[in-house]
């Protein structure tokens, strides 16, 4: 990123002139990833196997198989539950059309890119204030004054 261009290098490279970007917004995408359906199906199959072993081999084996089935189901659900992610997008109007200028699943990296773009926009289009006004102060600054 420079003061003049925003470059997004993904599967293909996209270059946007910062001076032509308008109406930049952050859009949070839906959660994506692995659902819990396969884990629940595996758990149901293991419980069926536990019930069968209970009838064939007795209660001691049945209790052990039931505990193992519940444990394995919870382990599968905890591992697959962490894989859900959310995709974050920077959308803008560029040369008359709405485009995605950046997209990332990692919120920390996404916020760094969005902050860099914001600073670049501020450098490109500085805010002009009348001579008699002061910049907005923080609450702590007002208490110290």
Q: pLDDT by residue (tens digit) across 107-117?
A: 899 999 999 88
Is 98 inside any structural domain? yes
> pLDDT-based confidence at 138, cuts 50/70/90?
very low
Q: How many domains does the chain have?
A: 2
**Domain shared by 56 and 120, yes or no:** no
pTM for this structure?
A: 0.54
- Cα 58 to Cα 52: distance, rounded to the nearest angstrom: 10
Quick one: 117 and 90 in the same domain?
yes
Same-domain pairing of 52 and 122: no
Q: Could you tell me the residue range of the domain that residue 46 belongs to? A: 37-81
Asked whether residue 135 is assigned to any structural domain, the reply reads: no
Q: Write down the pLDDT at residue 130.
A: 54
Q: 89 and 70 share a domain? A: no
Q: Is residue 117 in some structural domain?
A: yes
Taking only the tens place, the pLDDT of each residue in 81-96 is 666 678 889 999 998 8
pLDDT of residue 44: 85
CA distance 145 to 141: 6
**42 and 16 part of one domain:** no
- Binned at pLDDT 50, 70 and 90, residue 137 comes out as very low
Alpha carbon separation from 119 to 4, 26, 113 (Å, rounded): 12, 15, 10
- Say if residue 62 is in the same domain as residue 93: no
Percent of the chain with pLDDT over 90: 10
Question: Does 142 map to a domain?
Answer: no
pLDDT reading at 144 higher than 50: no
Please report whether residue 109 resides in a domain: yes
Q: Note whether 117 and 55 are same-domain residues.
A: no
Q: Does residue 136 fall inside a structural domain?
A: no
Q: Which long-range contacts (CB under 8 A, 24 or more apart) does 1-4 make?
A: 1/113, 1/116, 1/117, 1/120, 2/120, 3/120, 3/123, 3/124, 4/124
Assess whether 92 and 121 both reside in one domain: yes
Listed as own residue / partner, the contacts of 1-6 with beta carbons closer than 8 Å and 24 or more positions apart are 1/113, 1/116, 1/117, 1/120, 2/120, 3/120, 3/123, 3/124, 4/124, 6/101, 6/102, 6/117, 6/120
Domain-embedded: residue 75: yes
Q: Are residues 43 and 15 in the same domain?
A: no
Q: Is 68 inside any structural domain?
A: yes
């Amino acid at each position: 990123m420079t003061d003049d261009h925003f470059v997004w290098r993904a599967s293909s490279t996209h270059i946007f002139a910062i001076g032509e970007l308008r109406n930049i917004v952050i859009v949070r995408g839906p959660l994506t990833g692995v659902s819990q359906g396969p884990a629940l199906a595996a758990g149901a199959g293991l419980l069926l196997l536990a019930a069968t072993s209970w009838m064939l081999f007795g209660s001691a084996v049945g209790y052990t198989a039931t505990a193992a089935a519940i444990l394995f189901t919870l382990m599968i659900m905890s591992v697959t539950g962490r894989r859900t992610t959310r995709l974050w997008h920077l959308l803008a109007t560029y040369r008359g059309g709405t485009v995605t200028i950046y997209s990332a699943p990692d919120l920390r990296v996404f916020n760094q890119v969005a902050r860099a773009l914001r600073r670049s926009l501020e450098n490109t289009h500085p805010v002009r204030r009348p001579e008699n006004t002061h910049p907005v102060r923080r609450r702590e600054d007002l208490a110290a004054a």
